Structure 1
Amino acid sequence: MSEPSQKLPVLAWLQRFIAGKLSPGETTHMRYPTAISRTLAMRIVEIDAGWATVEIDADAGIHGNQQGTVHGGLICELADAAIGTAHSTQITEGESFASIDLKINFIRPVWKSVLRAVAKPMQSGNTISHYTCEIFRDDGKLVAMAISSIMTLRGENAAGR
């Protein structure tokens, strides 16, 4: 006989997922881990209400650009994943969200490093929220800074998203 399904809020599910304490049948209304995170081997390492830390093992031999450094698009995706994960902890069943914009400033190059993206809200609104995300190399040096605006969708606007 299979375990009954229990739907958890996103934050509770992610906390249990990170701790390795999910029970069979525990789910959430959002898709975690995301397909892009699995494809790129990104991992959520810290989570709380409104903030998230996401890591990736970046290597120019795999994720490189024509200059031989880690591609800025990968760093941008890492920031977007951290910001989206942070915002998802505020989303209830029947709601969804969409990025309005994402701006990133690149500070220094990466060749091979565990990159750590730390996203937190600058301002959390009922519909529009603004986030910052700092991305660090494993030597502690800042690689990039991103800001993003996120729109929470409700009702028919959230349907199918």
Structure 2
Amino acid sequence: MSRERTYSWEDPKVFVDAAAGLAGLDFLNRIGSGELPLVPAGATTNILPVAVGDGWAEFEMQPEEWHYNPIGSVHGGMIAGLADSALGCAVHTKLPAGAGYTSLDLNIKFTRAANLDSGLLRCRAEVVTIGRRTATAEAKVLDDRGRVVAHAIATCLLFS
């Protein structure tokens, strides 16, 4: 049986303009408060910010059928996207206005399958190191019973 999904998103220029003049934590808090809209990637994947603080970020994703791979579980790329969102935003919280970042690498280890029965998946990431040119962060993705679905580490290139 065919299923359908529709959604909308905001013009990404809204975020580019806002990010240029705000420190990372201030920028992310404006998204969290609704002062800035949900980012297009979040609208597409349903990977949503929960909370951010100095050096950490939490995101969540409710598994849906449209997240599934051909063998009936959440596609690993969706879980990697959840982890990458939290990892990058954890680093972003440490950056001053005018500074940016991009992922250099993402290393993820999957420890169990996720599906509709997993309940809400939550990922908390924390900055491990931050220097002049690079930062690292680590994260765990947990199901609603507190079981580790995946753990990840990322390195980000910092620039201004």
Equivalent residue, structure 2, for 1:158: none
Matched residue SS, 1:58? coil
Shift of 1:17: 4.2
In 1, are the aligned partners of 2:60 and 2:120 still within 8 Å (CA)? Answer: yes
Aligned partner (choices 60, 78, 81) of residue 82 of structure 2 = 78
Task: Please give the alpha-carbon distance, in whole angstroms, between the structure 2 residues aligned to 1:34 and 1:50.
Answer: 20
How many aligned positions are there?
139
Q: Does the 8 Å CA contact 2:23/2:98 hold for their aligned counterparts? A: no
1:122 aligns with 2:128: yes
Q: What runs of 5+ residues in structure 1 fail to find an aligned partner?
A: 155-161
- Going by fraction, where is strand more abundant, 1 or 2? 1
The structure with the largest alpha-carbon Rg is 1
SS in 2 for 1:12: helix
Name the CA distance, whole Å, in 2 between partners of 1:97 and 1:18: 20
Whole-angstrom distance in 1 between the partners of 2:62 and 2:143: 10
Structure 2 Cα separation of the partners of residues 92 and 58 of structure 1: 34
**Cα displacement (A) at 1:93:** 2.7
**Cα deviation digits, residues 1-27 of structure 1 (max 9, x gap):** xxxx9x54331343354355x4xxxx6
> Which residue does the alignment assign to 2:29?
15
Secondary structure at the counterpart of residue 85 of structure 2: helix
What is aligned with 1:45? 50
Q: Which amino acid aligns with 1:85?
A: C
Deviation sequence 1:60-96 (CA, Å, 0-9, x none): x211111101100000011111111111112223221
Identity %: 31
How well do the aligned residues superpose, as a CA RMSD in angstroms? 1.9
Q: Deviations over 1:132-156 (max 9, x none)?
A: 01000111110000111111012xx
Instruction: Could you list the structure 1 runs, at least 4 aligned residues long, displaced by more than 4 angstroms after superposition.
Output: none
Matched with 1:157 is none
- Determine the C-alpha separation between the residues in 2 that align with 1:8 and 1:80: 21
Relative to the length of structure 1, the TM-score reads: 0.78
- Greater helix proportion: 2
